[in-house]
A and B are shown apart, each in its own frame.
Chain A
Amino acid sequence: MSLDRKVAIVDLTTGKIDIKAIPLAVRKQFLGGRGLAAYLLYNYSKPGCDPLGPDNAVIFSAGILGGMLASASARTDVMTKNPLTGLLGSGNFGGFFAPELRYAGFDHIVVIGKAAKPVYIFVHDGEVEIKDAKNLWGKTVTEAQWAVREELGDPDVKCAVCGPAAEKLVRYANVMTGIKNANGRGGGGCTMGSKNLKMVAARGTMDIKIAHPHEALEFDKRFIEQITSAKVNQTMGVLGTPFIWGATNSWGGIRTNNFQFNQLLNADPIEPEEIDEWSKESMGSEYNMSACFGCQVHCRAKYKIPDTPLARKYGLVGKYDEGPEYTSQGAFNGEPGCTGLDTLLMGNHLVDQYGVDNLEIGSTISWAMELYEKGILTTKETDGLDLRFGNDDAVIAMIHHICKRDTWLGDVLAEGGIRASEKIGKDSFKLLIHMKGMQNLHSDERATPALALNLALASRGSDHLRSRPAIDLYHLPVDVMRRIYSSPVAYDGPLSSDHTEYIGKPWQVAWHENCYMAVDCLGICKYHTTFLGATLPNFEDWAKVLYYNVGLEMTPKDIWDVAERSNMVERLFNIREGMKKDDPFKGEILAERYFTEPCKRGAPDVIGKKIDKPKFLEMRALFYKYKGLDENGVPTPESLKKYGLENLDKEPLRI
Chain B
Amino acid sequence: MEAKVLMINHEKCTGCRRCELVCSVFHENVANPSKARIKVEKWEWEGLYIPMSCKQCVDAPCMNVCPVKAITRDDAQGLVSVDNDMCIGCRSCVAVCPFGAMNFNPMMKKVFKCDLCDGDPQCVRFCDMKAVDFVDVRKESLSKKRDAAFKISEAKKLGATIQYEG
State the A residues within 8 Å of B (CB).
Answer: 67-69, 96, 99, 103, 142, 146, 155, 178-179, 204-210, 213, 216-217, 220-221, 224, 228, 237, 283, 285-296, 298, 302, 320, 322
Not counting A67-B31, A291-B14, a sample of 12 additional A-B residue pairs whose C-beta atoms are within 8 angstroms of each other reads A69-B25, A99-B33, A155-B42, A179-B45, A204-B34, A205-B34, A207-B35, A217-B22, A287-B14, A295-B16, A296-B16, A298-B129
Distance to closest chain A CB from B68 (angstroms): 27
* A210-B25, A294-B18 as given contacts; A69 in contact with B45, CB under 8 Å: no
Structural contact, A207 and B11, CB atoms closer than 8 A: no
Query: Contact check: which of A103, A285, A291, A294 meets B32 at CB < 8 Å?
Result: A103
- The 30 listed contacts between A and B (C-beta, < 8 Å) are A67-B21, A67-B31, A69-B21, A69-B25, A96-B17, A99-B33, A103-B31, A103-B33, A155-B42, A178-B44, A205-B34, A210-B30, A213-B25, A213-B29, A220-B22, A221-B126, A228-B128, A283-B47, A287-B11, A290-B15, A291-B14, A291-B16, A293-B18, A294-B16, A294-B21, A295-B18, A296-B16, A296-B128, A298-B128, A320-B45
Asked if B49 is at the interface of the complex by the 8 Å CB criterion, the answer is yes
The answer, among B12, B16, B33, B125, for a CB contact under 8 Å with A287, is B12
CB < 8 Å neighbour of A290 from B18, B35, B47, B122: B47
Contact B32 A142 (CB under 8 A): no
- Which of A178, A210, A320 lies at the interface centre, i.e. has the most chain B CB atoms within 10 A of its CB? A210
Min CB distance, B61 to chain A, in Å? 25
Size class of the contact patch on chain B: 20 to 34
Q: Which chain A positions have C-beta within 8 A of B11?
A: 285-287
Residues of B within 8 A of A103 (CB): 31-34
Contact residues in A for B83 (Cβ distance below 8 Å): none
Cβ proximity bits B1-39 to A, threshold 8 Å, 1 near / 0 not: 000000000011111111001100110111111110000
Q: Which of A216, A287, A296, A302 contacts B18 (CB 8 A)?
A: A296
Q: A178-B44, A210-B25, A213-B25 are in contact. Are A292 and B16 (CB under 8 A)?
A: yes
A217 touches B25 (CB 8 A): yes
Per the bound structure, the CA–CA distance linking A142 and B43 in Å amounts to 12
Shortest CB-to-CB span from B55 to chain A, Å, is 22
B59 interface hit (Cβ, 8 Å): no
Report chain A residues within 8 Å CB of B34.
Answer: 103, 204-205
Task: Please state if B44 and A69 are interface contacts (CB–CB under 8 Å).
Answer: no
Q: What's the minimum C-beta distance from B22 to chain A, rounded to whole angstroms? A: 7
Which chain B residues lie closer than 8 Å to A288 at the CB level? 47
Could you tell me which B residues sit within 8 Å of A by CB distance?
A: 11-18, 21-22, 25-26, 28-35, 42, 44-47, 49, 122, 125-126, 128-129
Which residue of B11, B33, B44, B122 has the most chain A CB atoms within 10 A of its CB atom?
B44
Determine the distance from Cα of A75 to Cα of B128 in the docked complex, in whole angstroms. 20
* Closest residue of B by beta carbon distance from A67: B31
Docked CA distance A302–B13 (Å):
12
Q: How far is the CA of A205 from the CA of B24 in the complex (A)?
A: 12
Q: Which residues of A contact B14 (CB under 8 A)?
A: 287, 289-291, 295, 298
Q: Distance in Å from the Cβ of A152 to the closest Cβ of chain B?
A: 16
Point out the residues of chain B lying under 8 angstroms from A322, CB to CB. Answer: 47
Question: Which B residue's beta carbon lies closest to that of A209?
Answer: B30
List chain B residues, Cβ under 8 A from A69. 21-22, 25, 31
Asked if B32 and A207 sit within 8 Å, CB to CB, the answer is yes
Q: Nearest A residue to B16 by beta-carbon distance?
A: A291
| A-side contacts of B29, CB under 8 Å | 209-210, 213
**Does A205 lie within 8 Å of B26, measured CB to CB?**
no
| 6 closest residue pairs by CB, A with B | A296-B128, A207-B30, A291-B16, A302-B47, A205-B34, A291-B14
**Cβ of B7 to closest chain A Cβ, rounded Å:** 15
Inter-subunit contact A208/B16 (CB<8 Å): no
Specify which of B15, B25, B31, B42 lies most central, judged by the most chain A CB atoms within 10 Å of its CB: B31
**Pair A208/B31 contact, Cβ less than 8 Å:** yes
* Inter-chain contacts of B45 with A (CB < 8 A): 142, 146, 179, 320
Closest Cβ–Cβ distance, residue A228 to chain B (whole Å):
6
> Which residues on the B side are within 8 Å of A206 (C-beta)?
32
B44 touches A179 (CB 8 A): yes
Which listed residue, B17, B25, B33, B49, touches A216 by the CB 8 Å rule? B25
Cβ–Cβ < 8 Å partners of B28 in chain A: 207
Contacts known (A210-B29, A217-B122); A293 close to B17, Cβ less than 8 A: yes
Q: Chain B residues with Cβ under 8 A from A237's Cβ? A: 128
Task: Report chain A residues within 8 Å CB of B15.
Answer: 290-291
Tell me the smallest distance from the CB of B134 to a CB of chain A, in Å: 16
Residues of B within 8 A of A291 (CB): 14-16
- Chain B residue numbers with a CB within 8 Å of A294 are 16-18, 21
**C-alpha spacing A423/B122, complex, angstroms:** 60
Which of A68, A99, A210, A320 interacts with B47 by CB under 8 Å? A320
* Chain B residues closer than 8 Å to A298, beta-carbon distance: 14, 16, 128-129
Nearest B residue to A228, CB-CB: B128
Question: Which B residues touch A289, using CB under 8 A?
Answer: 14
A295 to B28, CA, bound (A): 21
CA–CA, A285 and B13, complex, Å: 11
Asked whether A290 lies within 8 Å of B49 as measured between CB atoms, the reply is yes
Contact, CB under 8 Å: A68 / B12: no
Bound Cα distance A292, B18 (Å) = 10
- Shortest beta-carbon distance, A264 to chain B, in Å? 29
A210–B24 alpha-carbon span in the complex (Å): 10
CA–CA, A146 to B11, complex, Å?
Answer: 23
A285 to B25, CA, bound (A): 32
Contacting A210 at CB < 8 Å: which of B12, B31, B44? B31
Q: Which chain B positions have C-beta within 8 A of A296?
A: 16, 18, 126, 128
**A203 — nearest CB in chain B belongs to which residue?**
B34
Distance in angstroms between the alpha carbons of A541 and B12 in the assembled complex: 30
> A216 — which chain B residues lie within 8 A by C-beta?
25
Residue of A nearest to B34 (CB): A205
- What is the bound-complex CA distance between A205 and B45, given in angstroms? 24
Instruction: Name, among B14, B26, B129, the residue most crowded by chain A CB atoms within 10 Å (CB to CB).
Output: B14
Report the bound CA distance from A322 to B16 in whole Å.
15
* A103-B34, A179-B44, A208-B32 given; A221·B125 CB < 8 A: yes
Minimal beta-carbon separation of A421 from chain B (angstroms):
39
Taking a contact as CB atoms under 8 Å apart, the answer to whether B32 and A205 are in contact is yes
Beta-carbon contact of B16 and A320 below 8 Å: no
How far, in whole Å, are A298 and B162 apart by their CA atoms in the complex?
Answer: 36
CB of B50, distance to nearest CB on chain A (Å):
13
Query: Which residue on chain B has the smallest CB distance to residue A179?
Result: B44
Residue of B nearest to A65 (CB): B31
**Chain B residues with CB below 8 A from A67, complex form:** 21, 31
Question: Does A224 contact B32, Cβ atoms closer than 8 Å?
Answer: no
In angstroms, Cα B97 to Cα A578, docked, is 63
How far, in whole Å, are A221 and B21 apart by their CA atoms in the complex?
13
Report how far A288 CA is from B128 CA in the complex, Å.
14
